[in-house]
Structure 1
Amino acid sequence: MESSNNNGSLEQTLQDGNLYRQVNAFIVAHLRDNNLNQAASAVASATMTPSNVEAPPNKLLELVAKGLAVEKDEMLRGVSSSPLFDSGAAIPAGYGSIPEPRVVAVDFRQYNVARCARFSPDGRFLATGSADTSIKLFEVIKIKQMMLPDAKDGPVRPVPVNDIDFHPQNTVMITGAKDHTIKFFDFSKAVAKRAFRVIQDTHNVRSVAFHPSGDFVLAGTDHPIAHLYDVNTFQCYLSAKIQDIGVDGSINQVRYSSTGGMYVTASKDGAIRIWDGVTASCVRSILGAHGTTEAISANFTKDQR
């Protein structure tokens, strides 16, 4: 058995060595064919590759292009076949609970102004978005125990994050940011630096909220009307015409009621508006809710009263 394992290891080592030599040969040939002779000589010398090695023209570019195409295809297939959002499934009895993630890499330090923070529905996780372009995901129990591990993850956003929300059933969180994007992150993975889904809005996304079913995302932006997205098709729905309800101002925050039957918007024009979660029509407007100042936030109580 040991001899078999050793033979397998040796064969793998030889295969790896052949692969490295082939890659080095393609690099040297590519540099030489593009008249980068000094660079080709340096690589050939460092890797002990013959400087006159033969390779099909543009072979390196062809392989890189194929690899990128496969990577893109896998990513697209992963989105279309993702079991994350099952629109046909009923909300489970344990609604609001989140499956146990395998590993969560966290850093409890915040290096700049924290612009937003949100607890997961079961209270086990806390996510923050910072002006330093980073998203932090904390396990509440670890915060309580003062377990502060060293973080190795770098920034995951190029712009400040405005708001965060958690999917009601899955290990997914979304962010809204100044780059007009809504991004989806799977925090069950050990490192989730990249979003696995991105919705490109037309405005600065100030606030985001999942519908309790998890099938829709509501976005409050610099546009006066909330944008409703289907997470499976990315189709956007606008709830009403601006002139019909006299809206004049960006939306600072959007939040759903516990059943999803209503949602509320807090706007820079000072108004708090309550909307029907099915028809997306405005059912009540509270103008000048805080006098002459803008309405920063609004939320429902659990009993929706």
Structure 2
Amino acid sequence: MAVEQTLQEGMLQRHVMTLIVAHLRDHNLIQAATAVANATMTPLNSEVPQNKLLDLVRKGMSAERDEIGRGAAPSVDMGMSASGGAMSAGYGPLPALPTMSLDFSSVQETKGSSKIFPKHDSRHVSEHKNVARCARFSPDGRLIATGSADTSIKLFEVEKIRQMMMADGGMREGPVRPVIRTFYDHMQPINDLDFHPQSAILISGAKDRTIKFFDFSKPAARRAFRVIQDTHNVRSVSFHPCGDYLLAGTDHPIAHLYDVNTFQCYLSSTVQDAHVGGAVNQVRYSPNGSMYVTASKDGGVRIWDGVSARCVRAITGAHGSTEATSATFTKDQRYVLSCGKDSSVRLWEVGSGRQVKQYNGSQHSQIRCQAAFNQTEEFILCIDEVTNEVVVWDALTDDIAGRFPSNHVGAPRWLEHSPSEPCFVTCGTDRSVRFWRGSIM
């Protein structure tokens, strides 16, 4: 039995190493994949389904949570509670979100039958006292946070917004108030927001050079319980999927990587990794945190190793000499979608850095707007600041699948789509926040 057990453990070890090597290889970490393969005598080119290791880890963590649920649930202490004690759970079990990405590589040179973007109902849900500058959905899509030039942050519950929209049709009685928290703690306009991946924590980056942590599990909390003081205007923030690190895109040419627990800051030590024109407009982690992407005022888009913080792919002049205003990964991490002030939205292949698609037909040369996938990645949304419309493309064919009035007074400066359902939010220079609800596709 001992011999048989040893053989089984050996087979399991080889299988684990094969998964690790394939995972590193498929996420363009070739040097690391080669090192592990050579050290463990594991084939480098084993055929393993995409994201197999992630799927197994996800299932294992789910099973572990189920086991804890059947016993005594331990308290969660991340060292970031405003009171210094155990923190209440942020979201509970996350719903099963779409994980499969469209295969853009198979249609690079072809045209097909474009889809029609479903009709969406729009509703004004709140108003800031100054320009509504940014918005973010929680990882489960149940909450929305918006930030304003009036230095406030509003937290919305999506279910209450749905109830509000039902009330418009006479199906409910009495007012519905979707804003469940309002935070005041910045001195200057807020540029970006992000939710912690597991806990009830919201972070904000602002022109006052700070990143602030808000605990939204406490109804009475209005102020930040922790603050990172940066040296530059904080333009963009993004949590690592594990929640232990965060990135800040600032007026400095290299993104700042912070340890959430110690607040220690790390920078790439290689000068040539910096964006020549300075100012990182947006930074976003890939779904598993193995990479992150930056969009810069110099028009460049750069892809970085999530562990070493070294630039692994520089797409200089991705939007010519105009600013690259946003960049985000597809779910499979094989592509990056970027938006720029050259009035174009572009899709780039991570492995080669080549352009795969270009989406034309909207004008955005003044506002620092962003392009966003819908929850299935079948559509791409952006704004046209001249016609004041929301423009939608079929992601595969690059044809315009719809365009409709934004209902803002003046073009919205931010558009953010839900990760879990057909709905999105727009924020405007008219101070308003609008929610868009579509039919199930």
TM category (shorter chain) comes to 0.5 to 0.7
Residue 136 of structure 1 is matched in structure 2 by: 154
Residue 45 of structure 1 is matched in structure 2 by: none
* Paired letter, 2:131: V
* Matched ranges for 1:1-305 at <5 A: 81-83=84-86, 94=93, 108-146=126-164, 147-148=176-177, 155-243=184-272, 247-305=276-334
More helix by share: 1
- Asked if structure 1 preserves the Cα contact closer than 8 Å seen for 2:254 and 2:275, the reply is no
Larger relative contact order (Cα-Cα within 8 Å, sequence gap ≥ 6): 2
- Asked if structure 1 preserves the Cα contact closer than 8 Å seen for 2:253 and 2:274, the reply is no
CA distance in 2, matches of 1:157, 1:239: 28
TM-score (structure 1 length as normaliser): 0.64
% identity of equivalent residues: 67
* Paired letter, 2:330: T
* Paired letter, 2:305: D
* Paired letter, 2:130: N
More strand by share: 2
User: How far 1:168 sits from its partner (Å)?
Assistant: 0.3
- Asked if structure 2 preserves the Cα contact closer than 8 Å seen for 1:135 and 1:157, the reply is no
TM-score (structure 2 length as normaliser): 0.45
CA distance in 1, matches of 2:262, 2:190: 24
Task: Look up the SS of the partner of 2:258 in the other structure.
Answer: strand
- Asked if structure 1 preserves the Cα contact closer than 8 Å seen for 2:254 and 2:274, the reply is no
* Paired letter, 2:209: H
String of CA shifts for 1:200-251, please: whole Å, max 9, x gaps: 1111100000000000010000000010000111100002333455633100
Structure 1: which 5+ residue stretches go unaligned?
A: 1-75, 86-91, 98-106
1:227 to 1:284, Cα distance in 2 relative to 1, 3 A = same
* Paired letter, 1:128: T
1:258 to 1:156, Cα distance in 2 relative to 1, 3 A = same
String of CA shifts for 1:99-142, please: whole Å, max 9, x gaps: xxxxxxxx833232111100000000000100111101000111
String of CA shifts for 1:38-76, please: whole Å, max 9, x gaps: xxxxxxxxxxxxxxxxxxxxxxxxxxxxxxxxxxxxxx9
Query: For the pair shown, which has the larger CA radius of gyration, 1 or 2?
Result: 1
CA distance in 2, matches of 1:300, 1:77: 28
User: How far 1:81 sits from its partner (Å)?
Assistant: 4.7
1:301 to 1:78, Cα distance in 2 relative to 1, 3 A = closer
Task: Look up the SS of the partner of 2:326 in the other structure.
Answer: coil
Structure 2: which 5+ residue stretches go unaligned?
A: 1-78, 97-124, 165-175, 335-441
1:274 to 1:130, Cα distance in 2 relative to 1, 3 A = same
CA RMSD of aligned residues (A): 2.9
